[in-house]
Structure 1
Amino acid sequence: MRDMQRNIYLIYIIRTIRTFLLLVPILVPFFQENGLTQTQIYLVQSIYAIVIVILEIPSGYFADYFGRKYSMLFGVTFSTIGCAIYSVAYGFAAILPGAITLGVAYSFISGADSALAYDSLLAMSEQKEYRKFEAYSYSLTGISEAVASILGGFLALISLRAPVYAQTIVYLSLIPLVILLKEPPRTKREIKNPFREILNISKYALIDHQEIRWLIFYSATLGTLTYTMVWLTQPYYQLLNIPLGWFGVLWAIQLGFMAIFARAANYYEMRMGKKNAFVSFTVIGVISYMVMGIVPSLITLPFILGFYFVRGVHTPIFQDYVNAIVSSEIRATVLSVKNLAQKLQYAILGPMIGVVVDMYSIQMALVFSGIIYGVMGGVTLWRMYKLEML
């Protein structure tokens, strides 16, 4: 039991360090300085997402079969390599291998850390604490990103490569921490045909089990809604003529609010009820897109917090719902299916939104995003309501 409790503490630390993202607040200017257009930036991110789409389920299966710890170790090692590639790259062709490597890294960590945490709590008969674990974890990661954003912004004033060098060191520090994790006891299925088993689990999650399917689809839509705004935020700052030195500070403020929102996730759903909470996520996201797109100004900039509310609150709630339904031996694979759905959506929609930015404007891209995600969210909510899930 002591090892299981230590796992929880270690995952808090690993997630906090892993989200100490010095590079993210200035990533778009970094790409631009290295010769990428907005369309190429979205293309890099879409290829990154496609890599995740290809590997997400196999990596989840790897975690279920060979161990979540080994999957995470593989992931943090590739994170270090991918960031090291960025640190010396110039131009689309040189940056792309770094994005691909980081996509591989994300795939092997995604789902494995959540599955290991849930099974550690299960081993201690404390699985009911999982939502609190996710909410607290998300709060910690928000604070970590906020602090890193400020530091990354200041490092960027020295050089746009300085945050990349520092990020490589941060990722490198994760390797010994992952090695300290202990695999929790769990049931392992006897596997004769791994490929068929992956297909069977995917079919179970996306076709056979209606509740899991629509939870996955809606979570994917909300995740893509907020992730799209990540790549529109820095061009929006540029539109408003905000100095580069303020990028990290503003990013930190946004993430600080997300940390607060995440801590309130359980309370929010209890007060609002499941149906109203679920509906509010799409409504808040769409309103934020529309207001910022139609009236771009410093006065409407606070509407960006709507995306961080959705991101901070919906993630622990949906993770808990899916974990509670899925059995231990396929948990990491099903969570990978959920993450795959989001990356697949972004891989399709990201380049489209990038083209709108380059051909028209950032304002048009924001309005376009609001319409797209409003329709997708509305259709998914309607299906969930018809199935009496809300």
Structure 2
Amino acid sequence: MKRNLWIMYAIALLQGMVFYGPIATLYRQAHGLTIFQITLIESISLSLLILLEIPWGIIADKIGCRHTIIFCSALYLISKIIFWKADGFAGFLVERIMLSVVESGFSGVDSTILYLSCGQKNSQKVFGVYHSMSMAGLLFAAGVYAMVVQDHYPLAGFLTVISYGGAAFLSLFLTDVRIHSVKKTDTEPFRVTIKKAMKNRSLLLFLIAAALLSETHQTITVFLNQLQYQKCGLSGSSIGLLFVAATLLGLLGFCSSSVTGRLGICSSLLLFCSMAAASCLTLAATRLAFPSAAAILILRFSNTLFQPLLTEIQNRQIRTDNRATALSVNSMLLNSVAIGTNLVFGALAGRKHA
């Protein structure tokens, strides 16, 4: 099972190599999209993702995690090819629709493979390393962008296609994992799994809070940070350096288990949320370069520590063989919240940026 961990780490590394990452918003703008169109496409994508979450969870539990990862990795590759060739709203919308299929398929399946492959021991650390590998890939891509790609946007898209092709190839070598009950009883019906997940009120409230934190981080550190940096008068090279710094902070996911071990789960959650809230308040109150950069870096750091803990908490709550289905219900709720935040953030950012 250790081979699964190394392969999943490698897949995360390669799929983290998004060579247009430093100019994700500018790339789309250069191909005819407005800020509101970007966030609108995100919300459409999330709506489809929500519709596919539970069906994909059921399919994954039936066909196995390995086959699900293989199919989704191949589709991921195709979506990046479409992104590379896209020009205008329709092209990027098609790419995001395909991405919705991929992400709903991956949802819960990757963490299931990791959770079961590590024997459920040190799982939070494994999740942290997995997230860190993704950020390591992004850091490598950022370095290549700064030294080689620069303003050659099509090259950034092409290199991303190559890295995702490598990830799709590696997925073929995964070994399937399944969890079985000790007693030879009938498998729990999927409708029962879904009903149980929807009735866990404490977990549902936690997931809503987690979605607000995660989507705020996603929108600010991926899309809106570049607009804030421009308003602060930062140069392209400075923006690139800050992107590298933010990516380096993303490598610290493995520290999440240590922080949680020392502070406890409740204190850790309070700390991570407080850091994020302070960062957002700072960004809302200033246009100065240093506090803006510091706030965005702190926001990235808090999310880096939070995500492995979020994954760990979700996996601990599952008491069924239909693990992928249960995790898909959680993802459905997370993405439902994300639709609203994307539209609100996009409309407000477009108004302020106009």
> Do the aligned partners of residues 70 and 247 (structure 1) sit closer, same or farther apart at CA in structure 2, a change above 3 Å counting?
farther
Deviation at 1:102, TM superposition (A): 1.5
1:9 counterpart = 2:2: no
Alignment match, 1:90: 87
Following superposition of structure 1 onto structure 2, how do residues 49-60 of structure 1 map, counting pairs within 5 Å? Answer: 49-60=46-57
Alignment match, 1:78: 75
Q: 150, 153, 157: which one pairs with 2:150?
A: 157
Alignment match, 1:367: none
Matched to 1:224, the amino acid is E
Following superposition of structure 1 onto structure 2, how do residues 236-385 of structure 1 map, counting pairs within 5 Å? Answer: 236-260=228-252, 262-300=253-291, 301-327=293-319, 329-361=321-353
Alignment match, 1:64: 61
Q: Deviations over 1:101-142 (max 9, x none)?
A: 1121111112111101212223xxxx1221111122222222
What value does the CA root-mean-square deviation take over the aligned residues?
Answer: 2.1
Distance 1:328 1:149 in 2: 41
1:169 counterpart = 2:166: no
Deviation at 1:218, TM superposition (A): 2.8
Deviation at 1:245, TM superposition (A): 4.3
> Do the aligned partners of residues 210 and 271 (structure 1) sit closer, same or farther apart at CA in structure 2, a change above 3 Å counting?
same
Alignment match, 1:224: 215
Matched to 1:285, the amino acid is A
Distance 2:332 2:178 in 1: 26
Q: TM-score, normalised by structure 1?
A: 0.83
Distance 2:97 2:332 in 1: 15
Q: Deviations over 1:64-85 (max 9, x none)?
A: 1111111111111111111111
* Contact 2:126–2:254 (8 Å) recurs in 1: no
Alignment match, 2:16: 19
* Contact 1:119–1:184 (8 Å) recurs in 2: yes
* Contact 2:245–2:297 (8 Å) recurs in 1: no
Q: What stretches of structure 1 of length at least 5 have no aligned partner?
A: 363-390
* Contact 1:265–1:313 (8 Å) recurs in 2: yes
Alignment match, 1:142: 135
Deviation at 1:92, TM superposition (A): 0.7
Q: TM-score, normalised by structure 2?
A: 0.91
Distance 2:71 2:186 in 1: 24
Q: What stretches of structure 2 of length at least 5 have no aligned partner?
A: none
* Contact 1:220–1:338 (8 Å) recurs in 2: no
Deviation at 1:156, TM superposition (A): 4.5
Distance 2:225 2:186 in 1: 47
Q: 192, 204, 212: which one pairs with 1:200?
A: 192
Deviation at 1:154, TM superposition (A): 4.4
Distance 1:335 1:310 in 2: 23
Matched to 1:206, the amino acid is M
Identity percentage over the alignment?
23
1:109 counterpart = 2:94: no
Greater relative contact order (Cα 8 A, min sep 6): structure 1 or 2?
Answer: 2
Matched to 1:238, the amino acid is Q
Matched residues, number: 349
Matched to 2:33, the amino acid is L
